[in-house]
């Protein structure tokens, strides 16, 4: 299919997750994304443990150029590339990109249409010079407090702040790209982990403002609905939610609970929330008499929200993702092929995707330098490129 961002060039000075995730989204939407790596490749490629999946997930379909930015010729090549690009993305430590001469103020004169995207820990303010990571932001911003049980803050089980912060930067960059079509001028965009966290927990801030009571951590919360929980079954647990009065009637009918439906005072949601201690033991006992498969069979097509408790590895074989084309074959650096999720949108029914390949470190260096009118062999002799 025709890609929305065809003809847009993005240059990335990024590592880890936040910056690469932004570039990955733009690549999937059709932009040419060039990742500038140090000689030998981005260290993210070599992370172990929970970091082992960062590089293959967020660097698919990008071109790779290896430059030594501490070498004058390597830095000059990087600057030339930035001046020939539509969007620059960087997530270096505060001030580092400016010290290299690749900041917004230093590039915009030569490329007034450049959209310069910085991914940081904090926006301007007292904290801006601090180093932040996803986990730092989750702890500071209240997300870890809301996720864990009382007194036991717990980070979310994925890099949600890195990824969401990258998404916000893409939204702003695309807005700036649209504005540039009218004005011819680019913008300096900054996205930050801490402010992203604050936005995500804003619903809990609003809850305090509305009720006067601080929001309790999610494991100890009073839900907005009486039935909105994980329930034990005869074998494996299942989440079930009843989120409207019409679904309450359907739920009582579906699970043969006339004694609950007979309580007319419980036919409105807030009354059911107030009576949770009476309702939930009856519901838990009833659902425990079914296997999970039996419950799923009853709930399918009912309109009631439900979910088996899945694990990430289950998604490789998920029938919906497989049937809908939501997983892309990706060739890993060791040559093996796996499946990884695409950006979760469709355009006219098609799932946008960049090629499912991971460039080797510097694989495209010669071609990119030649496109810029530079001599790859000369830069290699100087040690500025590889």
Mean pLDDT of 291-305: 97
Section 185-207 average pLDDT: 98
pTM as predicted: 0.94
| pLDDT at residue 145 in the model | 98
pLDDT at residue number 117 = 98
CA dist 116 to 95, 141, 234, 276, Å?
14, 26, 55, 52
Whether 19 has a pLDDT exceeding 70, the answer reads: yes
- Residues 49-82: pLDDT tens digits? 999 999 999 999 999 999 999 999 999 999 999 9
Cα-flanking dihedrals φ and ψ of residue 300, to 5°?
-55, 125
Domain 9-200+356-382 matching CATH 3.40.50.10540: the answer reads yes
Tell me the three state secondary structure of residue 347.
Answer: strand
CB count in 10 Å sphere of residue 354: 24
Nearest Cα residue to 359 out of 46, 5, 65: 65
Dist. CA 79–CA 90, nearest whole Å: 13
Beta pairing, strands 63-66 & 32-37: parallel
Q: Under 8 Å CB-to-CB from 84, ≥6 apart: which residues?
A: 9, 111, 372
Contact 95/101 with Cβ under 8 angstroms? Answer: no
Percent of the chain's residues with pLDDT above 90: 98
CB burial string 21-53: b at 16+ within 10 A, e below: bbbbbbbbbbbbbbbbbbbebbebbeeeeeeee
Percent of the chain at pLDDT exceeding 70: 99
What's the pLDDT score for residue 221?
Answer: 85
What does the alpha-carbon distance between residue 158 and residue 164 come to, in Å, rounded to a whole number?
11
Number of alpha helices (DSSP H) and beta strands (DSSP E) in the chain: 18, 11
Please state the rounded mean pLDDT for residues 226-244.
Answer: 97
Mean pLDDT along residues 268-281: 96
Which residue ranges make up each domain of the chain? 9-200+356-382, 221-312
pLDDT band at 374 (very low <50, low <70, confident <90, very high): very high
pLDDT tier for residue 185 given thresholds of 50, 70 and 90? very high
CB atoms under 10 Å from CB of 357, counted, come to 15
In a 13 Å sphere around the CA of 116, the CA atoms on its Cβ side amount to: 22
pLDDT band at 385 (very low <50, low <70, confident <90, very high): very high
The DSSP call for residue 350 is: B
Which bin fits 321, alpha (ψ -120 to 50), beta or left (φ > 0)?
A: alpha
Domain 221-312 part of CATH 3.30.1540.10: yes
What is the mean predicted confidence (pLDDT) over 183-202?
98
């Amino acid at each position: 299919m025709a890609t929305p961002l065809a003809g847009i060039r993005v240059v990335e000075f990024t590592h880890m997750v936040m910056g690469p995730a932004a570039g990955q989204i733009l690549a999937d939407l059709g932009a040419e994304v060039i990742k500038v790596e140090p000689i030998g490749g981005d260290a993210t490629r070599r992370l172990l443990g929970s970091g082992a999946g960062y590089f293959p997930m967020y660097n698919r379909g990008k071109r790779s150029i290896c430059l030594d930015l501490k070498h004058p010729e390597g830095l000059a090549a990087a600057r030339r590339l930035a001046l020939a690009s539509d969007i620059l993305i960087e997530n270096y430590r505060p001030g580092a990109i400016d010290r290299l001469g690749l900041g917004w103020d230093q590039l915009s004169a030569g490329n007034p249409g450049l959209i310069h995207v910085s991914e940081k820990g904090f926006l301007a303010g007292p904290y801006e010079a601090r180093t932040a990571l996803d986990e730092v932001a989750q702890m500071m911003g209240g997300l870890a407090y809301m996720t864990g049980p009382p007194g036991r803050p717990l980070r979310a089980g994925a890099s949600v702040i890195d990824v969401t912060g990258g998404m916000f930067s893409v939204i702003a960059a695309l807005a700036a790209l649209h504005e540039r079509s009218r004005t011819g001028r680019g913008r300096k965009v900054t996205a930050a982990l801490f402010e992203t966290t604050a936005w995500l927990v804003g619903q809990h801030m609003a809850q305090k403002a509305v009720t006067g009571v601080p929001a309790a951590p999610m494991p100890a919360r009073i839900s907005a609905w009486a039935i909105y929980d994980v329930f034990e079954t005869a074998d494996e647990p299942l989440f079930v939610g009843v989120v409207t009065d019409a679904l309450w009637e359907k739920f009582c009918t579906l699970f043969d609970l006339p004694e609950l439906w007979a309580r007319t005072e419980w036919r409105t949601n807030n009354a059911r929330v107030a009576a949770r201690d009476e309702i939930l033991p009856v519901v838990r006992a009833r659902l425990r008499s079914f296997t999970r498969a039996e419950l799923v069979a009853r709930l399918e097509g009912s309109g009631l929200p439900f979910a088996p408790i899945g694990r990430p590895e289950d998604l490789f074989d998920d029938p919906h993702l497989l049937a809908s084309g939501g997983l892309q074959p990706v060739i890993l650096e060791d040559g093996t092929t796996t499946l990884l999720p695409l950006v979760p949108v469709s355009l006219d029914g098609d799932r946008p995707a960049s090629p499912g390949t991971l460039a080797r470190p510097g694989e495209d260096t010669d071609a990119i330098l030649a496109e810029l009118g530079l001599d790859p062999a000369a830069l290699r002799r100087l040690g500025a490129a590889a």
